[in-house]
Structure 1
Amino acid sequence: MKKIFFYSDTILKNLALLILRVSAGLMMATHGWAKLSEFSAKLQTFSDPIGLGPAVSLQLVIFAEFFCAIFLAIGFLTRLSLIPLIIVMLVAAFIAHGDDPFSAQEKSLLFLTIFVSLFLLGPGKWSVDGQINRKNNY
Structure 2
Amino acid sequence: MFRSVLKTDSNDFTPLVLRVILGVVISAHGAQKLFGIWGGHGPEWTVDAWHQWWGLPSVLTYLVIFIESIGATLMILGLLTRFWAILIGIIMLGAIYLVHWRWGFYMNWYMQPQVGEGFEYHILVLSILLVLVLRGGGKWSLDGRLSRK
Name the counterpart of 2:4.
Answer: none
Q: Distance in 1 between matches of 2:43 and 2:66?
A: 12
Q: Following TM superposition, where does structure 1 have runs of at least 4 consecutive aligned residues deviating by more than 4 angstroms? A: none
SS at match of 1:99: helix
SS at match of 2:12: helix
Aligned partner (choices 47, 50, 55) of residue 46 of structure 1: 50
Tell whether 2:146 aligns with 1:132.
yes
Counterpart of 1:123, as a letter, is: G
- How high is the TM-score relative to the length of structure 2? 0.73
Q: Distance in 2 between matches of 1:93 and 1:52?
A: 15
Asked if structure 2 preserves the Cα contact closer than 8 Å seen for 1:14 and 1:126, the reply is no
SS at match of 1:98: helix
Q: CA deviation at 1:56?
A: 2.3
Higher fraction of helix: 1
Tell whether 2:95 aligns with 1:95.
no
Q: Distance in 2 between matches of 1:81 and 1:106?
A: 21
Q: Which runs of 5+ in 1 are unaligned?
A: 1-9
SS at match of 2:139: coil
Q: CA deviation at 1:44?
A: 3.0
Q: Supply the RMSD in Å over aligned alpha carbons.
A: 2.1
Aligned partner (choices 116, 120, 141) of residue 106 of structure 1: 120
Q: Distance in 2 between matches of 1:32 and 1:64?
A: 8
How many residues align? The count is: 123
Q: CA deviation at 1:125?
A: 3.3
Aligned partner (choices 63, 66, 71) of residue 69 of structure 2: 66
SS at match of 1:46: helix
Counterpart of 1:41, as a letter, is: W
Percent pairwise identity: 35
Q: Distance in 2 between matches of 1:72 and 1:133?
A: 16
Tell whether 2:123 aligns with 1:120.
no
Q: Distance in 2 between matches of 1:79 and 1:44?
A: 30
- Judged with a 3 Å threshold, the aligned counterparts in structure 2 of structure 1 residues 43 and 95 are, in CA distance, closer, same or farther, namely closer
- How high is the TM-score relative to the length of structure 1? 0.78
